[in-house]
Structure 1
Amino acid sequence: MTTKPPGVYVTEKSSGVRMIVGVGTSTPAFLGYTTTPTDTPTETGTPPFTPDERKIPQPIRGWQEFADRYSIAALGKELAALLKKETQAAGDLKRIQVLQRCFILAEAVYGFFANGGTSCYVVGFLNPDAPVAESGLGGDAEARTGLGGLETVPEVTMVAVPSLWDMTVAATDTKEPPDPNLPNGKSLIGKVVAHCTAQRNRLAVVDAPPKLLVEPLKAFVGDSSDSDDAAFTALYYPWVKVPGVDGVPRTVPPSGHLAGVWARTDAERGVFKAPANQNLRGVLDLPVLLSDDQNGELNDRGVNCLRVFPGRGLLVWGARTRSSSRDWRYLNVRRLVSFLSDSIRQSSTWAVFEP
């Protein structure tokens, strides 16, 4: 020991008190179609992901990073060139559909960051011309593909599949894209919800089928349920019209924008605040305008509506799960309990094997 002169010496020791630290609540995972451009672009910045890298969950911390990693600029140029052709062959029409399917994922990620999100994960499916089976969406936990790959990413608290309705049918060589297969879509939604229910710390952000009016939508969703799966499901309607990341306006599912609204609400107020009465950023218009009566009917069935109000713009006008249970009817309650449960679990692992 070093000999010290007489005096008072202070030695700091840990008190042994351990704190419960809150986990993050604002990180979504997006699953959707992705492809590489026909012509390999010149690398000007961050190199794009390889096909093998695109199949596993990749962290993305900004729109520009996503655009670079998934070759959005090159895909946009290819799509624009095909659309400018005076006559389009069958192969051109199919390639146009493939590229448009890839931009659905891009619009969701852009909408997330535009509405206040800071980081997300992306899981790609590499064959946009082919449908995705339920087993394909489920993926493989060991290979880290599909939903199985997200089991190794505990920070994910929302799961959205903006390409889900495209995944129900194959791309065609016609000018108009094929209508989605609703039964197949229901089975894919069930797979996503089952994943979230099993993980317990994340909710499924589900998009209604495209071009569906109120009465057909009511028949499609049915009544709300008191099942465990329904408590981990949030369904939004209708789709939204956006200016397009490549300058081409398109109508897209709102799940990416809503994930950003959830993240913004968490940052500004907290996970206990219902993510509603919030404006939608990066949206031009809604293709379906709802009345108060229609909103009320859908709200009773656990469908969260997007509305236009004079002088207030586009607002999220609902914050319910699909559950009819009194305990789990509201999104903020379900998300708060998941946040508390996950925080306590992660902050108390030190106690394992202690006497």
Structure 2
Amino acid sequence: MSTMKTPGVYVVEKNAFPNSVVEAATAVPAFIGYTEFAKDGNKSLLNKPWKVNSLAEFRQYFGGAPTPKFTVTEAKEGDEEDPKLGISFLELNGKKYSVQRDDKYNFYYQMRFFFANGGATCYIVSVDEKYTNDLSEEKLTNGIAALLKEEEPTMVLIPEAVYLETVDSCSNAQVAALTHAGGDMKNRVAIFDVFNGFMDDDTKVNDFREKIGTEFLDYGTVYYPWLNTSIVPDTDITFLNFTEVDKIVPILTEADKDGKLTDFIANVGKKPEELAVLDIETTHKVLARHSSAYSELMREMLLIVNMLPPSTAMAGIYTMVDATKEVWKAPANVGVNNVISPTVSISFKNQEDLNVPMNGKAVNAIRYFVGEGVKVWGARTLDGNSLDWRYINVRRTMIMLEESIKNAAKAYVFEPNTANTWVTVKSMIYNFLNGIWKRGGLAGSTADDAYSVHIGLGDTMTPEDILEGIMRITILVAISRPAEFIEITFQQQMQKS
């Protein structure tokens, strides 16, 4: 207050209420991957985290879908199917053919999967553009470093890691993401897929568990298996997706025994620039309807490009659950949109080792239930043996509480470390936690059972702490946990009437 020297009336305003804690955002994923381009006007966005709010914004700054290219060749003895590499077999005209996808770019489709399942605001880190280079472990891993200065993201994903050449390369990228989440930042979780997770093979899950390591497991979670989706519509795949059309024309001609489709088959052999848009659309529609060989090829190509790992869909589900039911609701027992079926059918018995393994590295299953569709049926972190951090919603709720209170407490840095400040800080945190408890985020029939805040000399601080400028605050919270196992007991009783 200024010194009063002149006679008159002086107005003094005093704050009646303490600062409040603003709840930190909980569902802001950061995705790292390959895009068509990475530009904001003339400014490059390569390896720069950029916030987008919709698929339309993603296309504006990072481009659209790749043009998947497929090579069809007559299968040789010893050839093996590999869905991850887009290699599958197809019988046409009595012969066995290999259908192979020549590229691995799926990041755009995975972003579609994210937004289709409730995704909203997210960060994109483009590590390369033009869809011209092979996927690189080094580039994907380097993309993580770009997120070190970003405080807002609460999830980190490298969905294309599972398309790298070897399981070791995939694991290296995943370990780097886990170290970033739990070691460097401590304010986000990493969501993973299983390398070759389209296979019904326990060794693939075991490989993941062995190679993910033992550090920061409570900051990571993984989902299995991959999913057959409908993200890529059938209109996106035509004869323009064939790499060597000269090998396709004989296959279609041989199948066209009546010769009624000769003119349309001839269009398949032409270069795209030689055809009008109407000719392309008409040729595709006619051949798809009247040529069984062509429709089988289209169907196989569509199945290959639509098989996607589930992590990006899970990021969308986390976002949707947070928006509708809060972060402390486990993101499980929730349907997955735009999914036809899991690539692996998991039974009740099969899931036992996935969910409760000896090493605690739980793998969350995505299962099909008759009459209910495809659902997420697991909500554990990779630290399943920890009673503190077993559930992903507990870890994410704690991150939200920590970040919210930490940001609010910054207002009291350099304030007097005295009783008046302690009372104000305690009141601020208490009010925040009381609101969380009333909304169901903390467990307890009374506020005292749900949380407590401790601060003060002789309680959390010593005289030496005060001399060294340290204010210590201890907060105890009882975070609500999911009812993962429900036991219903039946017992017969004597007839009473």
For this structure pair, what is the TM-score category when the shorter chain's length is used for normalisation? 0.7 to 0.9
Shift of 1:306: 0.2
Equivalent of 2:58 in 56, 66, 71: 66
Per the alignment, residue 351 of structure 1 pairs with: 412
Per the alignment, residue 174 of structure 1 pairs with: none
Cα separation, partners in 2 of 1:20 and 1:314, compared to 1, 3 Å: same
Equivalent of 1:158 in 148, 155, 160: 155
CA distance in 1, matches of 2:62, 2:205: 37
Query: 1:208·1:238 contact (CA, 8 Å) conserved in 2?
Result: yes
Query: 2:187·2:403 contact (CA, 8 Å) conserved in 1?
Result: yes
Q: TM-score, normalised by structure 1?
A: 0.78
* Paired residue secondary structure (2:45): helix
CA distance in 2, matches of 1:111, 1:218: 23
Per the alignment, residue 130 of structure 1 pairs with: 134
* Paired residue secondary structure (2:134): coil
Cα separation, partners in 2 of 1:218 and 1:115, compared to 1, 3 Å: closer
Identity level (%): 30
Per the alignment, residue 119 of structure 1 pairs with: 121
Per the alignment, residue 185 of structure 1 pairs with: 170
Shift of 1:224: 11
Equivalent of 1:219 in 206, 223, 227: 206
Query: 2:137·2:161 contact (CA, 8 Å) conserved in 1?
Result: no
* Paired residue secondary structure (1:307): strand
Equivalent of 2:229 in 219, 227, 242: 242
Per the alignment, residue 309 of structure 1 pairs with: 369
- One-letter code aligned to 2:364: N
Equivalent of 1:283 in 322, 339, 352: 339
Shift of 1:258: 0.2
Residue correspondences, number: 305
Shift of 1:11: 7.6
Q: TM-score, normalised by structure 2?
A: 0.56
- One-letter code aligned to 2:354: L
Query: 2:157·2:312 contact (CA, 8 Å) conserved in 1?
Result: yes
Per the alignment, residue 261 of structure 1 pairs with: 317
Per the alignment, residue 109 of structure 1 pairs with: 111
Per the alignment, residue 36 of structure 2 pairs with: 35
Cα separation, partners in 2 of 1:49 and 1:25, compared to 1, 3 Å: farther
Equivalent of 2:392 in 331, 339, 345: 331
Shift of 1:132: 2.4
Encode CA deviations 1:269-306: one digit per residue, 9 max, x unaligned: 11111100000012222111111111111111300000
Query: 1:51·1:126 contact (CA, 8 Å) conserved in 2?
Result: no
CA distance in 2, matches of 1:150, 1:215: 33
CA distance in 1, matches of 2:14, 2:338: 52
- One-letter code aligned to 1:151: L
Shift of 1:214: 3.8
Query: 2:112·2:231 contact (CA, 8 Å) conserved in 1?
Result: no
CA distance in 1, matches of 2:352, 2:42: 47
Equivalent of 1:208 in 166, 190, 194: 194
Matched, 1:319 2:379: yes
Structure 2 gap ranges (5+): 1-9, 74-86, 88-100, 238-301, 417-497
* Paired residue secondary structure (1:348): helix
- One-letter code aligned to 2:102: Q
Q: Which range moved further: 151-160 or 310-319?
A: 151-160
Cα separation, partners in 2 of 1:35 and 1:11, compared to 1, 3 Å: same
Shift of 1:226: 10
Per the alignment, residue 352 of structure 2 pairs with: 296
Query: 1:206·1:235 contact (CA, 8 Å) conserved in 2?
Result: yes
Shift of 1:21: 1.2
Equivalent of 2:185 in 186, 189, 199: 199
Shift of 1:320: 0.2
- One-letter code aligned to 1:184: S
Encode CA deviations 1:74-126: one digit per residue, 9 max, x unaligned: x44xx4xx55999xxxxxx9xx634xx33x21122112211112111111121
* Paired residue secondary structure (1:281): coil
Query: 1:224·1:300 contact (CA, 8 Å) conserved in 2?
Result: no
Encode CA deviations 1:114-159: one digit per residue, 9 max, x unaligned: 111211111112165334245x4342xxxxxx11111222110011
- One-letter code aligned to 1:110: R
Shift of 1:49: 6.4
Query: 1:224·1:322 contact (CA, 8 Å) conserved in 2?
Result: no
Cα separation, partners in 2 of 1:109 and 1:321, compared to 1, 3 Å: same
Shift of 1:236: 0.3
CA distance in 2, matches of 1:333, 1:226: 22
Query: 2:23·2:400 contact (CA, 8 Å) conserved in 1?
Result: yes
CA distance in 2, matches of 1:185, 1:162: 10
- One-letter code aligned to 1:328: W
Query: Larger relative CO (CA 8 A, sep 6+): 1 or 2?
Result: 1
CA distance in 1, matches of 2:231, 2:42: 25
Per the alignment, residue 177 of structure 1 pairs with: none
Per the alignment, residue 178 of structure 1 pairs with: none
